Amino acid sequence: MSKPALQALVSITVMGSALGGTIDSSRMAPPAHCKCFPGDTCWPTPVEWEAFNKTVHGRLVATVPIASVCHHDSFTDYDATRCQHLRDDWLQPEIHYTSSSSIMAQYFANMSCDPFSKPSAKCTLGNYVRYAVNATGPDDYQKTMEFATHRNIRFVIRNTGHDYFGKSTGAGALALWTHHMKDISVLDYKSQGYNGKALKMGAGVQVQEALAAAHAEGLVVPGGQCQTVGIVGGYTQAGGHSLLASVIGLSADLVLEWEVVTPVGEYLVATPSNHSDLYWALSGGGGGAYAAVLSVTVKAFPDVQTAAGVLTFTLSSGVTRERFFRAVKAFLQNLPNLVDAGGAALWTLADGSSWSAHSTFLDAYIAMNAKQNVTDGNMAAYLWPRDPVTSEANAAKLTDTLNKLVTGTRVITGGLSFNVARPQKTVEPIPNSVNPAWRTSIHYSAFGLPYNRTSQAANDAAWDKITNVYAPSLDRLVPGGMSSYINEANPFDPNWKRVFYGNNYHQLLEIKDKYDPAGILYGLTVVGSDRYQVQKGGQLCRVQR
């Protein structure tokens, strides 16, 4: 790694000149409307990164792509054995969430440093963040956002890297990495609206840790099907569904307070009565949009006896396709009874099992959990309103559409059925920004095509098919169109503002602009994100109007 040393030398000579000045004429100034990108004259020198590192107490981590052991590159030596281990474990979430840079939705890594490509193939920082601050508390949050703002560097909040939209990565970005903020406490919480048990969780707490901490006190909190998703990050901020949703509601419905640092560096605690606009936006309006969250406090409930069952029916010999889909229709029509009684159903539908062995997202859904692998697919999802399943004619249309969706394609579909209408028997409703479509929905349905590990062009084609063929076929079933769950949807949905946020969008945008006036919180389909565009090569630029 001789090049950085040389750069350090150059930078020392320019320290005395104006900030960002340089004598290296090969470096360019970025267009004024763009984020400062590595290689641009404004990009901090190694000495400046080191100075920043001191302000965050040496917690700055320079990215080494984890798959560099699979390549001949300048990061780490090629190591066939370690590379094979990495390939074997690539679908294990811990490979990625213990890293300061790796993400699980591989499409958004753009094969920058891919374990499955040849040793001679490129291994670059590409779409990975350049640096991450291994955060411990408000001071790291403040310093990191201040540096990113001041130096005009793309900023990313990264917890586990589970995000399906690649929002926890970014080319040329500085990440606030929250994974190690693991504090959990059980509280006897008293406020105007609530008097009872609560769980306060730091930004790095994952589902399994939250459930275990609650269980130890005879309590339960919503958790979601994947044990390693982060509670505070994308999950609760976008809504957060779980098998308990029909009984206790969405995770966002249970939030008592958010402890945050805003992009301008203010430490705040947002509750239904204080900074209530921010409370409203954070509770359902999407992760990584309004503020960097330090902790969330949610209502906890007495542990409940839970009954679980598995129903499987297959198209085996002697059963016609028509008969099979009649059974599917009967199942759909019975969903209202199930969810209105407080139940939830996880189900999938696929023609053959050509890729379900790898599609752990849905596999584990069926298996009622166990350890979940990373989704190896290009996935989109919708919220189905009750209407398409309640009347005979609509149920027939829906069944027919599902039949066409899976028959002879490699599409797999399925999801979670629930009733999260408010008010609920056990919950006092506090207004929040969860997409209103949730309240009238009966099912969250994911579908997708397998991820292609060797060809990004094939993945682009899969997304194209999802967006322009499969999604419209479902969309046609609902007057006004289907809605989606922000976390699990088509990242390329052309109508994402309405589809993801419903009529909350404009209010969310006002709140975002109030707390994040410089617009440093960007992510694909995040509120306000249409003001930016990722350029070829990865640089983030404001859209010129």
Ligand X SMILES: *[C@@H]1O[C@H](CO)[C@@H](O)[C@H](O)[C@H]1NC(C)=O
Q: Which of 151, 162, 299, 497 binds ligand FAD (CB under 6 A)?
A: 162
C-alpha distance from residue 265 to each of 155, 262, 427 (Å): 14, 5, 34
184 binds, among ligand X, ligand FAD, none (CB under 5 to 8 A by kind): none
| Residue 134 interacting entry, from ligand X, ligand FAD, none, C-beta within 5 to 8 Å by type | ligand X
- 106 touches ligand FAD (CB under 6 A): no
- Which of 55/440 has CB closer to ligand X? 55
Query: Given the complex with ligand FAD, which of 288 and 491 has the nearer CB atom?
Result: 288
- C-alpha 383/C-alpha 440 separation (Å) is 9
From 252, 248, 255, select the one nearest 342 (Cα to Cα): 248
* Residue from 21, 31, 39, 58 binding ligand X (CB under 6 A): 58
Contact flag: residue 361 with ligand FAD (CB under 6 A)? yes
Minimal distance, residue 403 CB to ligand FAD, in Å: 26
Please choose which of ligand X, ligand FAD, none residue 496 contacts, taking the beta carbon within 5 to 8 angstroms, the exact cut-off set by kind: none
Based on the shown chain and the rule CB under 6 A, indicate whether residue 394 belongs to the binding site for ligand FAD.
Answer: no
CB atoms under 10 Å from CB of 23, counted, come to 10
Place of tokens 């930004």: 203
Q: How many CB atoms lie within 10 A of CB 407?
A: 11
Least Cα distance to 514 among 293, 259, 289, 297 occurs for: 289
Site string for ligand X, 367-396 (x = CB under 6 A): ------x-----------------------
Residue 293 binds ligand FAD, judged by CB under 6 A: yes
Could you say which DSSP state residue 427 is in?
B
How far is the C-alpha of 343 from the C-alpha of 431, rounded, in Å? 24
Q: How far is the CB of 272 from ligand X (least distance, A)?
A: 11
Spatial neighbors of 226 by CB under 8 A, at least 6 apart, are 93, 162, 207, 364, 372
- 93 touches 151 (CB < 8 A): no
Question: What is the nearest approach in angstroms of ligand X to the Cβ of residue 268?
Answer: 5
Q: Which of 413, 414, 430 is closest to 422 using CA atoms?
A: 430
CA angle, corner 255, sides to 232 and 177, nearest 5? 15
In angstroms, the CA 182 to CA 358 distance is 30
Q: Does 375 bind ligand FAD (CB under 6 A)?
A: yes
- Collapsed DSSP state (helix, strand, coil) of residue 289: coil
Q: Should residue 136 be labelled a site residue for ligand X when binding is judged by CB under 6 A? A: yes
Q: How far is the CB of 415 from ligand FAD (least distance, A)?
A: 10
234 binds, among ligand FAD, ligand X, none (CB under 5 to 8 A by kind): ligand FAD
| Residue corresponding to tokens 């080494």 | 64
* 3-state helix/strand/coil string of 29-68: CCCCCECECCCECCCCCHHHHHHHHHHCCCCEEECCCHHH
In the complex, least distance from residue 458 CB atom to ligand X, rounded to whole angstroms: 3
Neighbours of 544 (CB within 10 A): 7
Name which position in 92, 348, 372, 435 contacts ligand FAD (CB under 6 A). 372
Q: Which does 33 bind (CB under 5 to 8 A by kind): ligand FAD, ligand X, none?
A: none
Closer residue to ligand FAD, CB minimum distance, 30 or 491: 491
Interatomic CA distance for residues 119 and 525, integer angstroms: 34
Distance of CA 280 to the CA centre of its chain: 19
154-158 and 173-177 beta bridge pairing: parallel
Check residue 482 for interaction with ligand X (CB under 6 A).
Answer: no
Residue located via tokens 């406490």: 185
Q: Does 274 bind ligand X (CB under 6 A)?
A: yes
Q: Which is nearer to ligand X, 61 or 338 (CB)?
A: 61
Which residue blocks in 168-224 are alpha helix, DSSP H? 207-216
72 phi, psi to nearest 5 deg? -90, 100
Footprint (CB under 6 A) of ligand FAD, residues 222-241: 224-226, 229-230, 232-235, 240-241
CB of 90 to ligand X, least distance (A): 7
Q: List residues binding ligand X (CB under 6 A).
A: 50, 53, 58, 60-62, 88-89, 91, 100, 110, 127, 134, 136, 171, 180, 268, 274, 360, 363-364, 373, 452, 454-455, 458, 534, 536-538
Q: List residues binding ligand FAD (CB under 6 A).
A: 104, 157-164, 167-168, 178, 203, 224-226, 229-230, 232-235, 240-241, 287-288, 292-293, 361, 372, 375, 487-488, 523
